[in-house]
């Protein structure tokens, strides 16, 4: 093991030349000196503070010399306004002083970016000012100065309101014209009234006439961050504060409230007060005409008692005369009305929607016997409720009481059910040959049937014990078997078995089910509700211990399978097993369960009496011949051995 | 222009005894080829582990350090390390050249029956009569195992490691295959204490021999039995079984002093090697050639496909000539 020692101050020669390491500065040399070599003294903080000057006075030994003051009869000293900069020294005017000097663009040459900020500030103040909307004071005070760019444009022939770019032939910018041709003489009209101009001069324009391009309307890129609806504009302050007939009641719910409240809306009789400060609270001046509504009287007709638009009929109120006057009034203002109602930031679409593509679809064809009455299918399973309730449900569904609803509908009947429906004579002989069953088994089945189809069994709702809880498929089949027993089906056993299982497996299941059905009879209903299945097996709990899940399966099945040499599904079990992370690393494979906290297999209960549970490394006696422990008992048997 | 296909070789059986080595170790509990098949490891009941050359039959080194009988051994892929396990409940990692004990791994509660390196010799896996398989880290200096697999209900008699899988056979009658890549454990129930498990060379099957004198070939993915080989006697002792290097034959030791060799596909007995009168304890097949090692009592036998002329004969002839 070698360690590097760096000797300070010694230069190291590298390929690019000797590398100089800075020598360490001793404490007494850690001082700050200004450019003249004088020790700097600082007020306050260690660094970055103001210098103390010359012994806490002005900057130099010579002191601060004021500007000379001369005043004689001939030469009166000119008015010298003292600026703060006169009293500052180099340090103050430096980068870190109180008045750093920077080179910036003058207002003449600055771009319009700063104007935007100023405009926004102006807009804000305009709303909150006592004279809302009017920026009269601002306009008076701010110097009307245009930037150098604007000046240059003006000198090149641009005028206010025009766009910038090569001249175009027509207003609608269909072609681009030669810039050398003669320009249109007079001042270009504002954008708003361009259409009227076009209509008038369309025929009379000479061919080589060009126009300045249209000015771009600035798109506002401010995002919408509020939660108002689109096109929401609050209460118009002008309308709220101005006088006049509209002042008393602000109608928010009319259809065309936008227009009435717009700034450029009706201007009846001129506005009383230009500044917008009007209304009954402000009185009437001596010079003004008498205001009609000095005393504001509120009338109930200003207020709606119903929501708008609920007038019955067509609104004509019996008017039978021709409607041409009515219509024309609405017609030509329709467009304008529509334009007025377009939301901010939206425009009318240029091409109409094709009604074919987004069409109105016809209603569906109803079948002939369709009755628009819906009845609900019951959520309750018929077999798990009492017969009274079941009957009530059936009648409510519209089924006849005698008709037993077949499980899969009318397509899944078997021959017996079909025979019944058709009314044919029943076949002689049995449905399925019972000769396979031993008489004892037959007896057992009958017994099971009688037990489960009685009234007490029907009354049991959900408290049945599930003997095959650990294998859900088997449990499902067992449930099916029990259900069918309850319904009194003779062939419940056959029907509930899984046809995909092998013959041998089915035989086993058959026996198991019959035994389980006999063993776990439903108890009488009156007492059964007072008892409930214990969640834990109290007696066995103390003797059991957690083991891995692979031991809980039945070994007998497997032994039988091995004897019959049927390896494969019957003998194989697959479990989830978590390898240690380090083990995966050592084997150079990715961890299959990277996030798992435990290692090994998930555990279940088992007997704890095993020799090796007590063996530890330090305590173990001799190594010789530790006998294998007795075969461990299994957990609670699922069904007794008969 | 296509060349004619080479004639398929008839699979050869190691039927000729090439050499017998007297190990002088007491009883040889296990005999193993190393990774390339040039060397031979013999585990003796006199607590020693010996390294031999197969071709010459000479003893190269003796490794002493165990406290009791050495039961199994394995060599790393680069022949630089050996691992061995013993009835003294320890697993020892040896340095081959110097013969020193690199690490003595304690932790098992009973005698350790089987041990093997993984492919890169970074982990030693050992199975013991206490029912656990412990995975020891050879890289770090820790003395604790990386993981302990204690799913077996009885002792672990045999284990084999492949790239990403661990196959263990237990006396409780179950073969457990731990798939590290998928994170799964597959348990196959054999119903009889298992004495030896092997992987096949193609990785599709596993071979299991059990105390009902049956060797079974099981499919790895489904657990179905592909072949069953009987005729030998395996009733009480832990004996080895193996597959030939090209998976053509199944070989097993027997308590009647023979080594049985069956055809894998047909299951018919092809060869019955007369090793001796006592129980043939252990066997090992060469990784690539047709060569077999067997251990009986205190001696190790080397079997090959073709009979070789021994060196002694050659020397005798020359001397005679001179």
Which of A552, A560, A581, A583 is best to mutate for the B interface (most B CBs within 10 A)? A583
From the number of C-beta atoms within 10 Å of its C-beta (0-12, 13-18, 19+), residue B2 rates as: exposed
B6 vs B170 pLDDT, higher one: B170
pLDDT digits (tens, 9 = 90+) for A391-410: 776 776 655 544 555 556 66
The pLDDT of residue A166 is above 70: yes
In a domain, B134, yes or no: yes
Q: Which residue in the set A559, A583, A601 is minimally distant from B146, CB to CB?
A: A583
- pLDDT number for residue A143: 59
Longest Cα–Cα distance in chain B:
68
The pLDDT of residue A441 is above 80: no
Rounded Cα distance between B86 and B66, Å, is 7
| Nearest C-alpha neighbor of B234 from the set B199, B270, B193 | B193
The pLDDT of residue A7 is above 60: no
- pLDDT number for residue B228: 92
**Which stretch, A142-146, A182-186, A305-309, has highest mean pLDDT?**
A305-309
Q: Which contacts of B90-97 are long-range, i.e. CB under 8 A and separated by 24 or more positions?
A: B90/B66, B91/B115, B91/B124, B91/B126, B91/B134, B91/B136, B92/B65, B92/B66, B93/B124, B93/B136, B93/B138, B94/B49, B94/B63, B94/B65, B96/B51, B96/B61
The pLDDT of residue A237 is above 50: yes
- pLDDT number for residue A32: 73
- pLDDT number for residue A281: 67
- pLDDT number for residue A279: 58
* Cβ contact, residue pair A558, B163, below 8 Å: no
Rounded Cα distance between B67 and B87, Å, is 8
Mean pLDDT to the nearest integer, A575-593? 90
Rounded Cα distance between A337 and A332, Å, is 9
pLDDT digits (tens, 9 = 90+) for A322-374: 766 555 544 444 455 565 567 766 777 777 766 566 667 888 888 888 888 88
- pLDDT number for residue A264: 40
Rounded Cα distance between A474 and A512, Å, is 10
The pLDDT of residue B184 is above 80: yes
CATH code at B81? 2.130.10.10
- pLDDT number for residue A112: 55
The C-alpha angle with vertex A48 and arms to A44 and A50, in degrees rounded to 5, equals: 60
Which of A623, A629, A633 is best to mutate for the B interface (most B CBs within 10 A)? A623
* Cβ contact, residue pair A586, B118, below 8 Å: yes
pLDDT digits (tens, 9 = 90+) for A98-132: 778 888 777 667 665 556 666 666 666 666 555 55
- pLDDT number for residue B40: 94
The pLDDT of residue A579 is above 50: yes
Phi, psi at residue B74, to the nearest 5°? -155, 150
* Cβ contact, residue pair A569, B153, below 8 Å: no
- The half-sphere exposure of B82 on its side-chain side, counting CA atoms within 13 A, is 30
Q: Sorting pLDDT into bands at 50, 70 and 90, what band is B12?
A: confident
- pLDDT number for residue B105: 94
- pLDDT number for residue B99: 93
The ipTM assigned to this model is 0.89
For helices A472-486 and A503-519, angle between their N-to-C axes, nearest 10 degrees? 60
The pLDDT of residue B44 is above 80: yes
Range of the structural domain that residue B152 is part of: 16-320
Q: Quick one: closest CA in B to A573, which residue? A: B187
- pLDDT number for residue B197: 95
Q: What is the mean pLDDT of chain A?
A: 65
The pLDDT of residue B312 is above 50: no
- pLDDT number for residue A624: 36
Quote the minimal CA–CA distance from A634 to chain B in Å: 13
Q: Sorting pLDDT into bands at 50, 70 and 90, what band is A232?
A: confident
Rounded Cα distance between B134 and B147, Å, is 6
In a domain, B7, yes or no: no
Instruction: Please state which of the ranges A265-274, A402-411, B101-110, B131-140 shows the lowest mean pLDDT.
Output: A265-274
The pLDDT of residue A419 is above 70: yes
Instruction: Please state which of the ranges A19-33, A491-505, A553-567, B81-95 shows the lowest mean pLDDT.
Output: A491-505
In angstroms and rounded to an integer, the radius of gyration of the C-alpha atoms of chain A is: 50
Rounded Cα distance between B178 and A579, Å, is 9
**Which stretch, A43-52, A488-497, A538-547, A615-624, has highest mean pLDDT?**
A488-497
Looking at beta carbons, which residues of chain A come within 8 Å of B45? none
The pLDDT of residue B287 is above 60: yes
- pLDDT number for residue A622: 40
A404 vs A497 pLDDT, higher one: A497
Which of B104, B187, B205, B229 is best to mutate for the A interface (most A CBs within 10 A)? B187
pLDDT digits (tens, 9 = 90+) for A59-74: 666 666 666 666 677 7
A7 vs B257 pLDDT, higher one: B257
Mean pLDDT to the nearest integer, A555-559? 81
* Cβ contact, residue pair A592, B87, below 8 Å: no
Task: Give the position of tokens 């599930």.
Answer: A466
Which of B88, B146, B220, B222 is best to mutate for the A interface (most A CBs within 10 A)? B146
Rounded Cα distance between A507 and A502, Å, is 9
Contact status, residue A486 vs residue A554, Cβ threshold 8 Å: no
- pLDDT number for residue A613: 53
Question: What would the 3-class secondary structure string for chain B be?
Answer: CCCCCCCCCCCCCCCEEEEEEECCCCCEEEEEECCCCCEEEEEECCCEEEEEECCCCCEEEEEECCCCCEEEEEECCCCCEEEEEECCCEEEEEECCCCCEEEEEECCCCCEEEEEECCCCCEEEEEECCCCEEEEECCCCCCCCCEEECCCCCCEEEEEECCCEEEEEECCCEEEEEECCCCEEEEEECCCCEEEEEECCCCCEEEEEECCCEEEEEECCCCCEEEEEECCCCCCCCCCEEECCCCCEEEEECCCCEEEEEECCCCCEEEEEECCCCCEEEEEECCCCCEEEEEECCEEEEEECCCCCCHHHHHHHHHHHC
Contact status, residue A606 vs residue B151, Cβ threshold 8 Å: no
- pLDDT number for residue A86: 76
Looking at beta carbons, which residues of chain A come within 8 Å of B225? 565, 567-568
Rounded Cα distance between B98 and B105, Å, is 19
A226 vs A125 pLDDT, higher one: A226
User: How many residues would you count in chain B?
Assistant: 322
Q: Sorting pLDDT into bands at 50, 70 and 90, what band is A534?
A: low
The pLDDT of residue A437 is above 50: no
Quote the minimal CA–CA distance from A595 to chain B in Å: 13
| Nearest C-alpha neighbor of A298 from the set A262, A242, A260, A247 | A247
Rounded Cα distance between A225 and A120, Å, is 17
- Residue A415 structure tokens: 């021959």
Q: Sorting pLDDT into bands at 50, 70 and 90, what band is B157?
A: very high
- pLDDT number for residue A167: 83
* Cβ contact, residue pair A575, B187, below 8 Å: yes
Looking at beta carbons, which residues of chain B come within 8 Å of A615? 109-110, 130
- pLDDT number for residue A100: 80
Instruction: Please state which of the ranges A98-102, B36-40, B143-147 shows the lowest mean pLDDT.
Output: A98-102
Distance set, CA A590 to CA A576, A598, B161 (Å):
16, 16, 17
Mean pLDDT to the nearest integer, A252-274? 48
In a domain, B5, yes or no: no
The pLDDT of residue A261 is above 50: no
Rounded Cα distance between B159 and B175, Å, is 9
- Residue A276 structure tokens: 């917008």
Residues of chain A with pLDDT > 90: what percent?
2
* Cβ contact, residue pair A572, B223, below 8 Å: yes
The partner residues of B301 in beta bridges, in order of sequence, read B20, B294
Q: Which residue in the set A583, A584, A617 is minimally distant from B106, CB to CB?
A: A617
Instruction: Please state which of the ranges A85-94, A574-583, B70-79 shows the lowest mean pLDDT.
Output: A85-94
Q: Which residue in the set B87, B131, B190 is minimally distant from A612, CB to CB?
A: B131
A585 vs A299 pLDDT, higher one: A585
Contact status, residue A112 vs residue A147, Cβ threshold 8 Å: yes
Looking at beta carbons, which residues of chain B come within 8 Å of A612? 109, 130-131
- pLDDT number for residue B175: 94
- pLDDT number for residue B94: 95
- pLDDT number for residue A198: 46
Q: Which residue in the set A574, A589, A601 is minimally distant from B180, CB to CB?
A: A589
Q: Quick one: closest CA in B to A629, which residue? A: B154
In a domain, B77, yes or no: yes
Structural domain tally of chain B?
Answer: 1
Contact status, residue A210 vs residue A180, Cβ threshold 8 Å: no
In a domain, B137, yes or no: yes
Looking at beta carbons, which residues of chain B come within 8 Å of A588? 120
The pLDDT of residue A532 is above 70: no
* Cβ contact, residue pair A592, B183, below 8 Å: yes
Instruction: Please state which of the ranges A18-27, A319-328, A383-392, B9-18 shows the lowest mean pLDDT.
Output: A319-328
Quick check: helix, strand or coil at residue A64? coil
Q: Sorting pLDDT into bands at 50, 70 and 90, what band is A36?
A: confident
DSSP A613: G
* Cβ contact, residue pair A573, B186, below 8 Å: yes
- Residue A142 structure tokens: 């701010």
* Cβ contact, residue pair A600, B150, below 8 Å: yes
Rounded Cα distance between A358 and B315, Å, is 105
Phi, psi at residue A7, to the nearest 5°? -90, 125
Q: Sorting pLDDT into bands at 50, 70 and 90, what band is A173?
A: very low
- pLDDT number for residue A631: 38
Rounded Cα distance between B79 and B61, Å, is 13
């Amino acid at each position: 093991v070698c360690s590097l020692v760096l000797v300070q101050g010694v230069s190291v020669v590298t390929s690019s030349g000797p590398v100089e390491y800075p020598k360490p500065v001793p404490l007494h040399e850690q001082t700050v000196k200004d450019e003249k070599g004088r020790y700097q003294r600082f007020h306050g903080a260690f660094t970055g503070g103001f210098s103390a000057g010359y012994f806490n006075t002005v900057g130099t030994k010579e002191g601060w010399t004021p500007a000379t003051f001369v005043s004689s009869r001939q030469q009166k000293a000119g008015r010298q306004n003292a600026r703060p900069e006169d009293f500052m020294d180099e340090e103050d005017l430096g980068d870190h002083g109180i008045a750093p000097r920077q080179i910036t663009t003058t207002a003449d040459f600055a771009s319009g970016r700063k104007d935007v900020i100023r405009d926004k500030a102006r807009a804000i103040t305009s709303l909150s000012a006592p004279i809302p909307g009017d920026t009269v004071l601002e306009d008076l005070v701010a110097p009307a100065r245009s930037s150098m760019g604007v000046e240059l444009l003006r000198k090149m022939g641009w005028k206010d309101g025009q766009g910038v770019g090569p001249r175009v032939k027509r207003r609608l910018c269909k072609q681009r014209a030669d810039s050398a041709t003669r320009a249109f003489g007079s001042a270009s009209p504002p954008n708003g009234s361009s259409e009227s101009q076009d209509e008038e001069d369309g025929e009379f324009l000479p061919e080589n006439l060009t126009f300045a391009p249209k000015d771009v309307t600035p798109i506002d890129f401010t995002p919408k961050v509020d939660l108002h609806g689109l096109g929401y504009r609050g209460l118009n302050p002008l309308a709220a504060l101005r006088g006049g007939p509209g002042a008393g009641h602000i109608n928010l719910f009319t259809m065309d409230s936008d227009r009435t409240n717009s700034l450029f809306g009706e201007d009846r009789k001129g506005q009383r007060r230009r500044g917008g400060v009007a209304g009954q609270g402000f009185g009437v001046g001596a010079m003004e005409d008498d205001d009609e509504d000095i005393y504001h009287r509120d009338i109930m007709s200003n207020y709606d008692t119903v929501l708008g638009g609920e007038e019955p009929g067509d609104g004509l109120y019996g008017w039978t005369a021709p409607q041409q006057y009515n219509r024309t009034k609405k017609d030509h203002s329709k467009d304008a009305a529509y334009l007025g109602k377009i939301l901010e930031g939206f425009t009318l679409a240029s091409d109409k929607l094709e009604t074919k593509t987004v069409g109105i679809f016809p209603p569906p064809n109803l079948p002939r016997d369709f009755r628009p009455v819906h009845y609900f299918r019951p959520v309750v399973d018929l077999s798990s409720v009492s017969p009274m309730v079941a009957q009530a449900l059936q009648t409510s569904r519209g089924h006849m009481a005698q008709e037993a609803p077949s499980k899969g509908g009318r397509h899944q009947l078997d021959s017996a059910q079909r025979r019944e429906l058709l009314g044919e004579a029943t076949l002689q002989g049995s449905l399925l040959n019972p000769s396979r069953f031993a008489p004892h088994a037959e007896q057992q089945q009958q017994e099971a049937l009688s037990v489960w189809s009685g009234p007490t069994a029907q009354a049991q709702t959900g408290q049945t014990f599930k003997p095959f809880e650990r294998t859900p498929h088997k449990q499902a089949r067992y449930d099916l078997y029990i259900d069918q027993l309850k319904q009194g089906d003779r062939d419940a056993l056959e029907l509930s078995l899984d046809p995909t299982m092998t013959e041998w497996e089915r035989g086993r299941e058959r026996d198991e089910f019959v035994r389980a059905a006999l063993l776990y009879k439903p108890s009488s209903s009156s007492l059964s509700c007072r008892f409930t299945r214990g969640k834990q097996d109290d007696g066995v709990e103390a003797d059991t211990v957690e083991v891995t899940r692979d031991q809980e399966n039945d070994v007998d099945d497997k032994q039988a399978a091995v004897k019959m040499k049927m390896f494969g599904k019957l003998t194989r079990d697959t479990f989830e097993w978590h390898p240690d992370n380090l083990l995966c690393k050592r084997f150079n494979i990715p961890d299959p369960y990277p996030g798992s906290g435990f290692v090994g297999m998930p555990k279940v209960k088992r007997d704890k009496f095993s020799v090796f549970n007590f063996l530890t490394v330090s305590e173990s006696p001799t190594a010789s011949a530790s006998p294998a422990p007795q075969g461990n008992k299994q957990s609670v048997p699922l069904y007794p051995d008969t | 222009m296509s060349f004619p296909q080479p004639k398929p070789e008839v699979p050869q059986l190691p039927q000729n005894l090439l050499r017998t080595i007297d190990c002088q170790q007491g009883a040889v509990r296990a005999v193993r080829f190393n990774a390339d098949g040039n060397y031979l490891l013999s585990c003796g009941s006199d607590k020693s582990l010996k390294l031999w050359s197969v071709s010459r039959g000479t003893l190269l080194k003796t490794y002493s350090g165990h406290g009791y009988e050495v039961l199994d051994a394995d060599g790393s892929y680069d022949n630089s390390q050996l691992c061995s396990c013993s009835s003294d409940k320890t697993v020892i990692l040896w340095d081959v050249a110097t013969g020193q004990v690199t690490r003595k791994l304690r932790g098992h509660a009973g005698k350790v029956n089987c041990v093997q390196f993984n492919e890169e010799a970074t982990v030693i896996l050992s199975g013991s009569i206490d029912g656990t398989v412990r995975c020891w880290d050879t890289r770090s200096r820790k003395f604790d195992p990386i993981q302990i697999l204690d799913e077996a209900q009885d002792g672990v008699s045999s284990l084999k490691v492949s790239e990403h899988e661990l196959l263990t056979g237990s006396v409780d009658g179950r073969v457990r295959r731990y798939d590290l890549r998928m994170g799964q454990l597959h348990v196959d129930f054999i119903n009889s204490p298992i004495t030896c498990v092997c992987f096949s060379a193609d990785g599709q099957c596993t071979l299991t021999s059990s105390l009902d004198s049956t060797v079974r070939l099981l499919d790895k993915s489904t657990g179905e039995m592909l072949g069953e080989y009987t005729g030998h006697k395996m009733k009480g002792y832990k004996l080895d079984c193996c597959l030939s290097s090209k998976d053509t034959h199944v070989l097993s030791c027997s308590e009647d002093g023979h080594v049985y060799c069956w055809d894998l596909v047909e299951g018919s007995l092809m060869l019955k090697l007369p090793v001796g009168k006592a129980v043939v304890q252990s066997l090992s097949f060469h990784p690539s050639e047709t060569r077999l090692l067997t251990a009986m009592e205190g001696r190790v036998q080397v079997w090959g496909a073709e009979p070789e002329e021994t060196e002694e004969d050659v020397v005798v002839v020359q001397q005679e000539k001179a």
